[in-house]
Amino acid sequence: MIKETSFAIEVAHLTVSYNAKPALLDVNVKIEADQLVGVIGPNGAGKSTFIKAILGFVKPDLGTVKIQGTHVKNAKGRVAYVPQRGAVDWDFPITVREVALMGRFQKIPWYTSPRKKDRDAAMEALDMVRMTDFAHRQIGELSGGQQQRVFMARALAQGSDILLLDEPFAGVDASTERAILEVLERAKRSGKTLVVVHHDLSTAAEYFDKLLLIKQRLYAYGEPYMVLNEDLLSQVYEGKLKIFKDVVKKEEN
């Protein structure tokens, strides 16, 4: 069979608004497979909305999203999602293993319990995020960074080629940030395409193959050195760019 497209995600003329106020306006971008892509832009820029549109969670006013050449409507299960930590109820009584197994639910027929292959996929995913030893712990007992990794396991267990993560590094300490980055890199090496919302410009070039700079409109998509261009950043971040410069200076010292 001839491969229809080599793009993991194709977004054309994407326009999304809430209460008639546009959050995204005419966004056009094609994301190649097997890449680790960072989505950057200031607060309220539409980063989460962009991720939700790729998942088909928000209905665009205009434009289309294709996943591996297929309209997002018909691409259910091809994209896995790790929501922002704040969007999850951590008091829910469920074990780490059960959370990972949730990633398999789309694949388990309603009349059966999880099969060996589902349980194996869940355990493999926990191994990938190095959380196997915690399999029987309650999710609520874990640290923020561990919870984040378990949610990455849930997404990995789904077996999708494409993973979308919304600010996985938010509110974690430096060693957890390392651990999460390693999971992202491991997932990429295993053939996944990852699109990751990231708010820290000072690490963006180091972490990602490509960056996507967004503020309602797409300002740039490409190699970090092209996107982290002072003119572009000052257009997008306006007054806040000074903070970025300070961060860069600090790193150089």
Ligand X SMILES: Nc1ncnc2c1ncn2[C@@H]1O[C@H](COP(=O)(O)OP(=O)(O)O)[C@@H](O)[C@H]1O
- Which positions touch ligand X (CB under 6 A)? 18-19, 23, 41, 43-49
DSSP state of 235: H
Tell me whether residue 48 or residue 147 sits nearer to ligand X (CB atom). Answer: 48
The helix (run of H) or strand (run of E) holding residue 186 is helix 174-189
Beta bridge partners of 67: 9, 70
For the CB of residue 166, give the shortest distance to Mg ion in the complex, in Å: 6
Kindly tell me which residue out of 10, 27, 48, 198 binds Mg ion, with binding defined by CB under 5 A. 48
Token pair recorded at residue 72: 């997002």
For the CB of residue 209, give the shortest distance to ligand X in the complex, in Å: 21
43 binds, options ligand X, Mg ion, none, Cβ within 5 to 8 A by partner type: ligand X
What is the Cα–Cα distance from 41 to 115, expressed in whole angstroms?
A: 42
Task: Single out the residue of 231, 207, 205 nearest to residue 219, CA to CA.
Answer: 231
Tell me whether residue 46 or residue 103 sits nearer to ligand X (CB atom). Answer: 46
Query: DSSP 3-state assignment of 189?
Result: helix
For residues 53-72, which are near Mg ion according to CB under 5 A? none
For the CB of residue 120, give the shortest distance to ligand X in the complex, in Å: 35
The helix (run of H) or strand (run of E) holding residue 113 is none
Tell me whether residue 25 or residue 45 sits nearer to ligand X (CB atom). Answer: 45
Task: Single out the residue of 193, 211, 191 nearest to residue 201, CA to CA.
Answer: 211
Query: DSSP 3-state assignment of 184?
Result: helix
Tell me whether residue 47 or residue 198 sits nearer to Mg ion (CB atom). Answer: 47
Interface region with Mg ion, contact rule CB under 5 A, candidates 46-54, 64-72, 172-180, 226-234: 46-54
Q: Which positions touch Mg ion (CB under 5 A)?
A: 47-48
